[in-house]
Amino acid sequence: MMNICRRLRLRAPRIAVLLAAFLAVPSAGAADRIVLVGGGDVLHGRIVEQTDAALTLEHSALGRLVIARSAIASLTLEAEGEATGQAPPADGEAGPAGGAPATPTTEAPPAPPPAWTWRLELGLNGSEGRTEKLDGRVNFLAQRRTDETRLALDANYRTATSRGDRTQNKFDAGAIHDWYWNDSPWLAFVQGRFELDEFADYDQRYSAGGGVGYAFVRNDRTELVGRLGLGGAMEQGGPKDGDITPEGIAKLELSHRLTEITRLTGGAEYYPDLNRIGDYRAILNAAIETRLSATSPASLKFGVRQEFEDRHGFTQDDLLEYFALFVVEF
């Protein structure tokens, strides 16, 4: 027994040298190359399995080896001719425990904006002109916007009573669809609207049209868009019952973010009667809206809206509306 131990001690250095040389020499037919952390030992073989913690190498002489990723300095797929593993950290750069280089991380792309945004506006509405009153108002708005198109829908209802008598009963709903031309400031649009007003000279009015627009300003804070086009309107009830009136369309829309939580909006719409020069209808509006906080879906909105209508042989009082609304966006 003593003789056997003496022989093993004498041969141990020779065995270690042979093993190191064996590991450093590429194995015949090997495809993949692993450089180990520390002494820079190299293993050649075929990688048969990989996980986040380790990989399995099929070595021609040592068989199947499971190697922790923390022990790998670099990995090269020689069949592809390029390194696919981690490079050793630069001088002074800290790596994970065990001396392995830090694993690079990829930042996840931001979530896409929602396809639709919805708004519900509730509050007080006042008016002067056809009636004088202070009562309730409900607005519902929806918008879908992409890089190529925008579709906006809205519906509004105002009603009021005074001493049991109705003084206002007005509903209108509309839609506008824009098409953008790549990075050009030009756009095309179509629009339509339905109006019901018990205290106007008509019972119902339908209007539609389309044309082109131009974005004078469009950035993260401000959007100013002008539109020109042609359309028509048809009324039921009143002096123009059943008549279709061809109209021009001229619009200007502004949206400007004053602060992170406060936004100013405004607009002007002008619809000249193409049959009678001088006859027109127009709408002016302006509002300021501020969120309750930077992350809150709720906000407060204050604004005014005025309608003008001038027709040959007919006088109609202008309608001025002012409102204070509580807004929820979802």
For residue 88, what pLDDT is reported? 41
pTM value surpassing 0.95: no
For residue 49, what pLDDT is reported? 85
The neighbour count for residue 271, using CB atoms within 10 Å, is 22
Domain residues of the chain, as ranges?
2-83, 116-329
The neighbour count for residue 166, using CB atoms within 10 Å, is 13
Give the architecture-level CATH label for domain 116-329. Answer: Beta Barrel (2.40)
Tell me if residue 280 falls in helix, strand or coil.
strand
Write the DSSP symbol of residue 22.
Answer: H
For residue 96, what pLDDT is reported? 44
Q: What is the pLDDT along the chain (330 residues), one digit of tens a residue?
A: 445 445 445 454 554 444 444 444 444 444 688 888 766 678 888 888 888 788 888 887 778 888 888 888 888 876 544 444 444 444 444 444 444 444 444 455 555 666 899 999 999 877 666 656 667 899 999 999 988 999 999 999 988 777 777 877 889 999 999 999 888 999 999 999 999 988 888 899 999 999 999 999 999 899 999 999 999 999 998 888 889 999 999 999 999 999 999 999 999 999 999 998 889 999 999 999 999 998 999 999 999 999 888 876 665 666 788 899 999 998
Per this entry, what is the length of the chain? 330
CA torsion, ordered 79, 84, 86, 88, to nearest 10 deg: 40
Give the architecture-level CATH label for domain 2-83. Answer: Roll (2.30)
Q: For residue 307, which of 172, 122, 129, 125 has the smallest C-alpha distance?
A: 129
Whole-angstrom distance, CA of residue 287 vs CA of residue 145 = 22
Shared fold status for 2-83 and 116-329? no
